[in-house]
Structure 1
Amino acid sequence: MDTLEKIKAFVSLSQLGSYRRAAVSLNMSNASFSRAISSLEQELGAPLFVRTTRRCHLTSKGRDFLPKAERLLSVANEVFATSKENQISLSGRLRIGCGTALSQMFLSDLVIKFSQLHPLCSFELFIADRIFNLVSDRLDLAFQVFNIDHGASEDLPLGIIKSILVASPAYIKLHSMPQEPADLVHHLGLINTQWGNKWAMKNDKQKMVIVVESPFCSNNTLTLLTLALSGAGIAFLPLPLVFKHLQAGDLIHVLPNWTGLDVDLRLLQPNKMFESQLSKHFVEFLKTQLSEKSNMYFSY
């Protein structure tokens, strides 16, 4: 194993604090990873980590060596990236995690357009309404609406997603239009089990929480959209997901002066030192696309 690979192992372990997680992040076996760290410590003539039952911590030698190792990896990545870009077209497989609603809102269009620009690239999409972890889920990137510590991941803010109340014309005709948030307690609310039945709302002047009840609930946003379209109740849904249905008249904006609390859309990405050229190009493409279509995705 060359010195550069050993340094990658060292930096990964310093960030994740776990031999197993660091080995997985570099697609190495535990034995190979352990040998890489031991070999580097022998070359430097001092232990780099203090090992406990739960985590590995840097020694004073390790703390001194870490910034030098990070600079070395950064320079090496730039050299190799420039060489590859000059020699071959962008290629490879990108593994992306995303929630069901987000995948419908923009991910499908993005990967199709990117594939047209880079036909040698392929995508593996993992669609699930849960929290992603790049290391344990073996993902290159993941779209997320939660601010959570993900170890070696670096959250990239992409924008604010607004949620609004919607219902079908048939439901409003049968149950009447709510005139204020307090009226929602007399209506059927389509509940997302991830957020619960306490709907946090705001307008220009105040915030409030309304407790709603309904025989219908789901952990899947697309199922709630289907229920709303069928007239089963009032749903709190992301604006980009319902925008076309509002324009077509399939849904009506309920309490238009009120919205849900803003949610940050973020992209989980690896530390820059472990970022592939394919991931780097896709992230730049993503930022350009979202900037051009921000009105469609994040406002109404």
Structure 2
Amino acid sequence: MSRWDGIDEFTAVAEQASFSAAAKRLGLSTSAVSREIARLEDRLQTRLLNRTTRRVELTDAGRDFLTRCRRLIDERDEALAAVQPDDSAPRGLLRMTCSVSYGERFVAPAVNAFARTHPELSIELDLDNRLRDLVGDGYDLAIRFGHLTDSRLIARRLASRRLILCAAPDYLGRRGAPRDLSELPAHDLLTGSSEHWRFTEAGREVSLRPTGRWRCNSGAAVLDAALQGLGLCQLPDFYVSEALATGALIRVLPDHRPPDEGVWAVHPHPRHVPPKVRLMVDHLRDSLSALAA
């Protein structure tokens, strides 16, 4: 009996939340998968999965073990690939996360194109505006913006995005346009998921904590509120570029626009980056850079 026995089966069941789906993925019978996991739990003297007639859930020990198993599998697969230089195709499961709107508009189409040309790779793309813990939650890759602070991660810049302060002509006609940053608190500010709005003043970056009677964590909803004349918003360029081009929104305080933010691919810092991560990052950089060109 190998100490590896049951690890692939456990990982597949945990990721699929199903014994039958895991068995199909591994090319085994459901009974064989169940048997290997039972033996693994016996060896560890720990329950990893809670099984019911409707679903499979990880125990606390199972969640921690899954994170470690993914690392082991990635390093094992990379070691095997290292002695097969002509076979560098990405394979296995790649777990990614990104914010909802940017993910829907840009990342998902690029990921789908990558998946189409790499049929041995399975992809799980989690679109979530929360800042997920890549190491603790077992993600291979995340797309993030702005300043990065987590020293456990390595990052590669993929593209840039620009923050733009703007409002509808109707609102500016009623309230007037602010002439400098000091006038912003007197205006109706449409706040989203960002806690601070960023600007430049006298050659340095400054921030403002917006307050107002309207708030939503959806950029699309903030855009709609601005189009309806409810107030000023600061949103990334991809939200507002069309409305600015048609005149439905007007830039405000353009001389105080902050520096462009970086769009980053970040991933945990193993000794060697798995091919599936390295190739996906290369593909995303090419795809996102082409959009900005």
Tell me the TM-score normalized by structure 2.
Answer: 0.65
- Indicate the residue corresponding to 2:163 in structure 1: 163
Alpha-carbon distance in 2 for matches of 1:2, 1:103: 39
Of 227, 237, 246, which aligns to 1:248? 246
Residue from 62, 68, 71 that aligns with 1:26: 68
User: Residues 159 and 289 of structure 2 are in contact (CA less than 8 Å); yes or no, is this contact kept in structure 1?
Assistant: no
Closer, same or farther in 2 for the Cα pair 1:161/1:121, shift >3 Å?
A: same
Partner of 2:97: 97
Q: Distance in 2 between matches of 1:100 and 1:272?
A: 27
- What corresponds to 2:222 in structure 1? 224
Q: What CA distance in whole angstroms lies between the structure 1 residues aligned with 2:221 and 2:151?
A: 29
Tell me which residue corresponds to 1:147.
Answer: 148
The answer for the alignment partner of 2:83 in structure 1 is: 79
Q: Pairwise mapping of residues 188-199 of structure 1 onto structure 2 (< 5 A)?
A: 188-196=188-196, 199=197
Q: What are the Cα deviations for residues 232-254 of structure 1, in whole angstroms up to 9, with x where unaligned?
A: 21111112332233223332211
| Structure 1 unaligned residues grouped into runs of 5+ | 4-18, 34-69, 296-300
Map Cα deviations across residues 51-108 of structure 1 (whole Å, 9 max, x no partner): xxxxxxxxxxxxxxxxxxx9x997654224x2534xxx65544321011232145213
Residue 141 (structure 1) shift: 0.9
User: Could you tell me whether the CA contact under 8 Å between 2:167 and 2:252 is conserved in 1?
Assistant: yes
- Judged with a 3 Å threshold, the aligned counterparts in structure 2 of structure 1 residues 95 and 183 are, in CA distance, closer, same or farther, namely same
The residue type paired with residue 184 of structure 1 is L
C-alpha distance in 2 between matches for 1:222 and 1:155: 28
RMSD over aligned CA atoms reads: 3.5
Question: What amino acid sits opposite 1:195 in the alignment?
Answer: E
Q: How does 1:164-203 map to 2 (within 5 A)?
A: 164-196=164-196, 199-202=197-200
Moved more, 114-123 or 163-172: 114-123
Q: Deviations over 1:160-216 (max 9, x none)?
A: 4321102123322332222322232221111235414xx331157354444543101
Any conservation in 1 of the 2:97–2:128 contact (CA below 8 Å)? Answer: yes
What one-letter code is carried by the residue in structure 2 that aligns with 1:96?
M
**Please, which runs of 5 or more residues in structure 2 have no aligned partner?**
5-60
1:234 aligns with 2:232: yes
Q: Provide the C-alpha distance between the structure 2 equivalents of 1:227 and 1:2, rounded to a whole number of angstroms.
A: 58
Q: Does the CA-based 8 Å contact 2:98-2:129 persist in structure 1?
A: yes
**What is the rounded CA distance, in whole Å, between the counterparts of 2:168 and 2:186 in structure 1?**
17
Moved more, 202-211 or 124-133: 202-211
Shift in alpha-carbon separation, 1:113–1:203, aligned structure 2, 3 A: farther
Aligned to 1:108: 108
CA distance in 2: counterparts of 1:243 and 1:99, whole angstroms:
19
Residue correspondences, number: 233
263, 267, 270: which one pairs with 2:261?
Answer: 263
TM-score normalised per structure 1: 0.64
